[in-house]
């Protein structure tokens, strides 16, 4: 999956990232009352990684429709 990789694989990867991100965000919201306001505790919780995964999935889907992937 490079810059000129398979478009369908990139779109599937983006959708999988979005689904996993939503699951992690839900789990992170559930654990939010038990969180501590320290930097290491924030970055090690599923809420942060869920948001990171969600944004990465959106980026992968947008890149799947980019001209460099569609070869136009």
Does 20 reside within a domain? yes
What are 43's two structure tokens? Answer: 């970055």
pTM above 0.85, yes or no: no
Position 58 pLDDT exceeds 90: yes
Provide the domain limits for residue 59.
7-70
pLDDT tens column, 22-44: 999 999 999 999 888 899 988 99
Domain total in the chain = 1
What are 22's two structure tokens? Answer: 């939503």
- Look at residue 65 in the predicted model and tell me its pLDDT: 87
Determine the Cα–Cα distance for residues 55 and 21; give it in Å rounded to an integer: 8
Does 2 reside within a domain? no
Question: Buried (b) or exposed (e) across 17-53, using 16+ Cβ within 10 A?
Answer: bbebbeebbeebeeeeeeeeeeeeeeeebbbebbeeb
* Cα–Cα separations (whole angstroms), residue 52 to 34, 55, 72: 20, 5, 30
């Amino acid at each position: 999956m490079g810059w000129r990789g398979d478009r369908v694989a990139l779109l599937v990867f983006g959708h999988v990232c979005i689904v996993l991100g939503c699951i992690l965000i839900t789990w992170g919201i559930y654990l939010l009352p038990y969180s501590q306001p320290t930097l290491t505790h924030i970055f090690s919780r599923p809420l942060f990684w869920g948001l990171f995964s969600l944004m990465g999935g959106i980026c992968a889907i947008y890149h799947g429709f980019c001209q460099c992937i569609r070869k136009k």
